[in-house]
């Protein structure tokens, strides 16, 4: 349902996309991960006909996004990084308006609006102006608007950024239900747990290129080993604890000085953990917590890209965005 081949987009000397190849089968969720500036939003904009590539090809639902953009728009929905709702209209009026723009007709548009308000737990606020909504409520309404026409292909560009945990779970449930009904989803996210929960397949990109591809379990297995995690009691304990871990762990020890949390990869599991505890016990370092765990997607991301995922907007986010139902102010910012 989504296919790209050799997709390239440049802004001056900077390659936002540098030969990106993607394949997303029908009825699946592809998680597109990468650090800020990796090219995720650029890829979404090209696939949703908001931006033309410099070279390469892209198809959505069997249609060329450059040759047949109008046809592509009839089959897609897009929820971007910023909620695109009219704050002077009520939630119901926003969704009803989208239905009318899709030529669903008066009755079907209204019924669909009420259905989606209920699905996203916005029914009690549906008749209030959206300027009174919280940020999380606006995000949910924006996704609801992307679903009004029941699109075959849905593009979700960091859809749960800023949502509270409960709202995020509601959103995940709605996305799963869409896929059960046959929809295809391309999801960009900075939440590794979200990709782990939702994605059937994951592509990690950096500097506009694919650097890893596989299921969440496959990527974790490729990383290998286990992780020792410790939390020390005082900032002054960090350096000594780091040096002990460095002698026994593989690669660089990751340190979060604010939380006094240290993590190191090991090959040996409990035997290495016992030696770490023995050495620390022989010092004045105070341990608040210690554990041994399998790699997570955060570990995969850190290993592949060199730093943790950041919960901020992507390389060309900002300004207004088109959701497949409104106009965009083109801001080609990398």
CATH number of the domain that residue 85 is part of: 3.40.50.300
Indicate whether 170 belongs to any domain: yes
| Residue 268, pLDDT score | 77
Same domain flag for 97 and 121: yes
pLDDT given at position 306: 67
The span from the CA of 141 to the CA of 159, in Å, is 11
Closest CA to 81 of 128, 138, 126: 138
pLDDT score recorded for residue 256? 92
DSSP 143: H
Which of 185, 215, 245 is a domain's end point? 215
Calculate the alpha carbon distances from 255 to 60, 193, 263 in Å.
Answer: 43, 21, 7
pLDDT for 237-277, tens place per residue?
999 999 999 999 988 898 999 999 999 988 877 899 999 99
What pLDDT was estimated at residue 179? 92
Residue 308, domain member (yes or no): no
Domain-located, residue 333: no
Say yes or no: 152 and 38 in one domain: yes
C-alpha torsion sign, points 135, 139, 141, 142: positive
Q: At what angle do helices 165-180 and 135-146 cross, to 10 degrees?
A: 10
- On whether both 56 and 77 belong to a single domain, the answer is yes
Please state the pTM of the whole predicted model: 0.76
CA distances from residue 329 to 10, 51, 322, 323 in whole angstroms, order as listed: 19, 11, 8, 12
User: Could you count the other beta carbons within 10 Å of the beta carbon of residue 298?
Assistant: 17
Are 61 and 126 contained in the same domain? yes
Of 215, 242, 271, the residue that ends a domain is 215
In a domain, 181, yes or no: yes
CB 162 within 8 A of CB 190: no
For the chain, how far is it from start to end, CA to CA, in angstroms?
Answer: 27
CATH number at residue 289: 3.30.70.100
Question: Do 203 and 151 lie in a common domain?
Answer: yes
Does residue 280 belong to any structural domain of this protein? yes
Residue 56 lies in a domain: yes
Evaluate whether 106 touches 147 at the Cβ level (below 8 Å).
no
76: in domain? yes
Q: How far, in Å, are 77, 91, 98, 110, 171 from residue 137 at the CA level? A: 19, 10, 17, 20, 11
- Residue tagged 């006909």 (tokens): 49
Residues 6+ apart with CB under 8 A from 296: 192, 196, 220
Residues 133 and 235 in one domain: no
Q: What total number of domains does the chain contain?
A: 2
Residues 263, 9: Cα–Cα separation, whole Å = 37
**70 and 23 within one domain:** yes
Are 203 and 243 in a shared domain?
Answer: no
Residue 312 lies in a domain: no
Sign of the torsion formed by the C-alpha atoms of 141, 202, 177 and 148 = positive
The reply to whether 110 and 184 lie within a common domain is yes
User: Can you read off the two tokens belonging to residue 289?
Assistant: 């917590």
Domain final residue pick, 177, 195, 215: 215
Other CB atoms closer than 10 Å to residue 321's CB: what's the count?
26
What local confidence, expressed as pLDDT, does residue 328 receive? Answer: 31
Let me know whether 118 and 91 are in one domain: yes
DSSP string, 18-80: EEEEEEE-TT-EEEEE--TTSSHHHHHHHHTTSS--SEEEEEETTEETTT-HHHHHTTEEEE-
pLDDT the model gives residue 295: 81
Specify the residue for token string 């001056």.
12
**Same-domain pairing of 48 and 7:** yes
Which residue range forms the structural domain that includes residue 245?
Answer: 225-294
Residues 6+ apart with CB under 8 A from 299: 220, 223, 227, 265
What residues of the chain score a pLDDT lower than 70?
Answer: 224, 306-334
Distance, in Å, from the CA atom of 217 to the CA atom of 177, rounded to the nearest integer, reads 22
Give the containing element (helix H, strand E) for 92: helix 91-101
Predicted pLDDT at 19:
96
Q: What phi and psi, each to the nearest 5 degrees, are found at residue 242? A: -65, -40
Looking at the fold, whether 202 and 135 belong to one and the same domain comes out as yes
């Amino acid at each position: 349902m989504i296919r790209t081949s050799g997709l390239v987009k440049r802004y001056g000397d900077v390659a936002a996309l540098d030969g990106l190849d993607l394949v997303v089968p029908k009825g699946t969720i592809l998680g597109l991960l990468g650090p800020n500036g990796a090219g995720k939003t650029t890829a979404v904009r090209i696939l949703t006909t908001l931006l033309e590539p410099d070279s390469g090809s892209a198809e959505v639902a069997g249609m060329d996004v450059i040759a047949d953009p109008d046809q592509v728009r009839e089959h897609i929905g897009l929820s971007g990084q910023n909620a695109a709702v009219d704050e002077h209209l009520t939630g119901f009026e926003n969704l009803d308006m989208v239905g009318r723009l899709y030529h669903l007709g008066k009755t079907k548009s209204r019924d669909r609006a009420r259905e989606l308000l209920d699905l996203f737990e916005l029914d009690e606020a549906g008749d209030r102006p959206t300027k009174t909504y919280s940020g999380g409520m606006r995000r949910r309404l924006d996704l609801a608007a992307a679903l009004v026409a029941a699109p075959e292909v849905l593009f979700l560009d960091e859809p749960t950024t800023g949502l509270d945990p409960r709202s995020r779970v509601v959103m995940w449930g709605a996305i799963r239900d869409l896929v059960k009904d046959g929809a295809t989803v391309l999801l960009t996210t900075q939440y590794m747990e979200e990709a782990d929960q939702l994605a059937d397949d994951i592509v990690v990109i950096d500097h506009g290129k694919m650097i890893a591809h596989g299921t969440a379990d496959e990527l974790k297995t490729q990383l290998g080993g286990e992780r020792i995690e410790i939390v020390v009691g005082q900032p002054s304990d960090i350096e000594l604890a780091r040096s002990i871990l460095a002698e026994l762990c593989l690669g660089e020890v990751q340190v979060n000085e604010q939380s006094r949390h240290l993590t190191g990869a090991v090959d040996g599991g409990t035997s290495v953990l016992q030696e770490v505890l023995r050495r620390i016990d022989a010092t004045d370092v105070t341990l608040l917590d210690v554990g041994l765990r399998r790699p997570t997607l955060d570990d995969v991301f850190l290993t592949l890209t060199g730093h943790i995922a950041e919960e901020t907007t992507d390389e060309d986010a900002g300004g207004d965005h088109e959701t497949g139902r409104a106009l965009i102010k083109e801001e080609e910012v990398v």
